[in-house]
Amino acid sequence: MRGLNHWRRGAVTAVAVLAGISLGAGIALADPGFGGAKPGSDGAGDSYYPQDGNGGYDVADYDLKVDYAPATHQLTGSQTISARATQSLSSFDLDLSGPTVDSVKVDGRDAKFTRTGDHELVITPARPVWRGERFTTKIAYHGVPAAIDDPLLGLNGWQYGKSGGAFAAGEPRSATTWYPVNDTPLDKATFHLAITVPDEWGVIGNGREGRTFKTPKGTTHVWDETTPAVPYMTTVAIDKWEFDRTKLSDGTPVVSAYAPGTSDETKAAERRLPEIIDFLSSKFGPYPVDAAGGIFLAEPIGFSLETLSRPIYSGRAGDLQTIVHENAHQWYGDTVAVENWKDVCLNECFASYAQWLWSEAKEGQDLNARYLAAVKKASPAFWAGKLYDMGPGNEFTYVYSKGPLALHALRNTIGQQAFDKVIKTWNRLNHDGNASMPEFQRYTERVAHMNLQGFFDAWIYGNAKPSDQYLYPGSLKPSA
């Protein structure tokens, strides 16, 4: 995200359990070795957003079929979720804000369901789902989606365009406003979307563009994201788009969509996307996603967002630096996602420093001079800003300004060779997984053969101006 204001018993027993599962869905068998079935937790346990996400299962795939009527804002959905139970489940939760649920089936049998709180959909299957068992949940629902209006983070989720179209964008939550989901960064899944809209509307989503075909209700557009995605990184956008389709040098498809009124300057910046991705690949390793492109809105929303494979841009932010930032997230934040929201510097500090690296390589900027100038003018409030465990609602603040300074100081502390190795191998080591800032610290220490506790305490974990030892390492010398 880039804000506009700064902004995871023995063999005999295992065989017995598998044999029991195959005997038939209508037989509630014993659960030897695993204990009795119980409800899955109604939250994933994040310290900032403990009720977001759920426990007891792991989603592999969301297969979503949607009809959407721009004139009435009515959305009708049919969704199939493929998952595996990580405990024996008597019931389990999904997250959904707003739309009405019409029916739920688990493994083809009607399931009971209730709604609790502001986003909990509690599902009780006809029989328990045993630990290790793969199961499917099919949900029919409808309604007029509405964004979540967070007092600190603004509008998140399904939003409406002035043209009459709509789009989904928001962090830390967005998906819950338009489909049932396990809304936690800890549960990535592939995402398949077939959405039907009136013929005059265009649609863009995550991943690779599938077939388009006519139906009695309009035109169906298919998008398939085969890179596992965190829920808030999924999106769909409906408008009278101008499409631009091309490929990267390795054949990866690029699809970008421009809302009416998008400036020529923005289109020219996006046409440099292959160059941007080649540059970022030289720094961070091979491009880690199955597709690329961008979604350029007309609406001046308060942020742009790294939606997987295809970032979504505010109508006032389609500039080159923002495109570099959001695409850097495909390595830092998307394919390697945070373990907890307090680790968000692993997303935003790195995407912001990617902008520095671009300026250095493409514009000849002296980053040491840029760093020293920023240090010289930094206020006490700036130094008090935290880059780790900054508190809910404060995630998207100093990570954009103090964050790149911390990484430039780290580069000068451990040396260019070690720094290059760290940032280029981090995604490969953690690809399609989650990571924490302490894990990044330990990995950097191993690569650099240095104890970096003092540095991380001063820059990442602390909230005071670092001492000169950490403020002016290596070739960085204080300006007069």
Angle at alpha carbon of residue 64, lines to 59 and 68, rounded to 5°: 145
CA-to-CA distance for 2 and 321, rounded, in angstroms? 10
* 247 plus 381 within the same structural domain: no
Please indicate, yes or no, if residue 479 is contained in any of the structural domains: no
Quick one: 394 and 465 in the same domain?
A: yes
pLDDT value at residue 3 = 63
Could you give the 3-state DSSP secondary structure of residue 115? strand
- Do the domain assignments include residue 297? yes
189 and 321 housed in the same domain: yes
**Which helix (H) or strand (E) is 440 found in, with range?**
helix 437-448
SS3 284: helix
pLDDT in tens, 144-176: 999 999 887 788 999 999 889 999 999 999 999
Residue 48 domain-assigned? yes
CATH of the domain at 367: 1.10.390.10
Residues of the chain with pLDDT under 50: 5-33
Domain boundary pick from 271, 306, 330: 330
Is 96 part of a structural domain of the chain? yes
Domain finish residue from 290, 305, 330: 330
Distance between CA atoms of 23 and 289, rounded to whole angstroms? Answer: 40
19 and 65 belong to one structural domain? yes
User: According to the model, what pLDDT value does residue 480 have?
Assistant: 65
Cβ neighbors of 401 (< 8 A, separation 6 or more) are 6, 352, 374, 382, 385
In three state form, how does the secondary structure of 369-381 look? HHHHHHHHHCCHH
Residues 386 and 368 in one domain: yes
Helices marked H in 271-400 — which ranges?
273-284, 320-328, 345-363, 367-377, 380-384
DSSP 236: E
Residue 305 lies in a domain: yes
Structure tokens at 276: 């941007």
- Is 349 in the same domain as 401? yes
Residues 230 and 379 reside in one and the same domain: no
Write the CATH number for 15.
2.60.40.1730
Domain ranges, residue 424: 338-471
Helix (H) or strand (E) holding 15, with range, is helix 11-22
- Same-domain status, 208 and 351: no
Give the pLDDT of residue 153: 72
Contacts of 458 (CB under 8 A, 6+ apart): 464, 466, 467, 470, 471
Total domains present in the chain: 2
- What amino acid occupies position 376? K
Which of 330, 348, 382 is the C-terminal boundary of a domain?
Answer: 330
Same domain membership, residue 394 and residue 271: no
| Contact criterion met (CB below 8 Å) for 61 and 189 | yes
The verdict on 294 and 356 lying in the same domain is no
If asked whether residues 219 and 196 sit together in one domain, one would say yes
Is residue 480 assigned to a domain? Answer: no
Residues 272, 384: one domain?
no
Task: Answer yes or no: is 449 within a domain.
Answer: yes
